[in-house]
Structure 1
Amino acid sequence: MTWSTFFNLSTIEHRHLLAAYATVLIIQGGYFLLVLRAWLRTKDPRK
C-alpha cells in the first residue's frame, strides 16, 4: 500500500480504513490530553 492508494477514497475499504485511523488518533489524543491535565494538576508531595 502506497500513500497514493491510501488516500484514494474511491472505494469503501479505503474510506473505512481512513475513518478507523482517524478514530483511533482522536481517542488517543483525548486520552493524552486527559493524562496531561491530570499530571499538570498534581501537587508536589514535598510541599
Structure 2
Amino acid sequence: MRGLLYFIAVVLVIFWALGAFAWHAGNLIYILLVLAIISFLLGVIRRGNV
C-alpha cells in the first residue's frame, strides 16, 4: 500500500509541474499539489506506525 501512495504522489506532482509550467491550468494545479502532499503525508504517517 505504501508503494501505491508514493506512486500516486509522484504522478500528481508530475501533473502539477506540467500544469504549472506548460498549460497554466488555474486552480487545478493547486488541487493536484494538495492531493500529492496529502498522499505523501499519509505514506509517511502509515510507515511510522508500522
State the TM-score, normalizing by the size of structure 1: 0.54
Q: Hey, what does 1:6 align to over in structure 2? A: 17
The alignment of Structure 1 onto Structure 2 pairs a total of residues equal to 31
Q: Distance between the aligned counterparts of 1:6 and 1:13, measured in 2?
A: 11
Q: CA RMSD in A?
A: 2.0
Runs of at least 4 residues off by over 3 Å: none
User: Shift in Å at residue 6 of structure 1?
Assistant: 1.1
User: Map of 1:30-45 to 2, 5 A cutoff?
Assistant: 30-35=45-50
Structure 1: distance between partners of 2:17 and 2:34: 12
Ranges in structure 2 where 5+ consecutive residues have no aligned partner: 1-13
Deviation at 1:22, TM superposition (A): 0.2
3-state SS, counterpart of residue 37 of structure 2? helix
- Residue type matched to 1:23 in 2? I
Q: Distance in 2 between matches of 1:28 and 1:18?
A: 15
Task: Return 5+ residue gaps in structure 1 as ranges.
Answer: 36-47
Specify which structure has the higher proportion of helix: 2
